Amino acid sequence: MRPFICQCCGLPFSPKIRGTNRDQSLSSDYCLDCFKNGEFRDHHLTIQDMEKKLLIRARHHDEISLEEAHDTIKILPDLKRWRMTHIL
């Protein structure tokens, strides 16, 4: 099965870490890191913050490589969460 791509952080996530909607159904758009109980975990996060977070993740963890982080940063403006801020 194709992994979901989180529409906030841009990273692929497995069905096990799907975010949860307000009614506790599972989200197909967001991972649990970003979205829980129908709300974003970090309301004040900006797209620039997300870019920094991805770079930090690539540097300090082994989850993603620096190259993956850069590729992910490129797609951030097209993701659901950031499309609106993109227009502003």
Structure tokens at 75: 């797609």
Give how many residues touch Zn ion by CB under 5 A: 6
Strand partners, 5: 12
For residues 22-61, which are near Zn ion according to CB under 5 A? 31, 33-34
Residue 79 contacts Zn ion per CB under 5 A: no
Nearest distance from C-beta of residue 5 to Zn ion, angstroms: 9
Choice between 33 and 51, CB closer to Zn ion: 33
Residue 69 contacts Zn ion per CB under 5 A: no
Q: CA 8 to CA 84: how far, in whole Å?
A: 12
Q: CA 72 to CA 55: how far, in whole Å?
A: 10
Residue 6 contacts Zn ion per CB under 5 A: yes
Structure tokens at 26: 């599972």
Structure tokens at 36: 């829980």
Contact positions vs Zn ion (CB under 5 A) = 6, 8-9, 31, 33-34
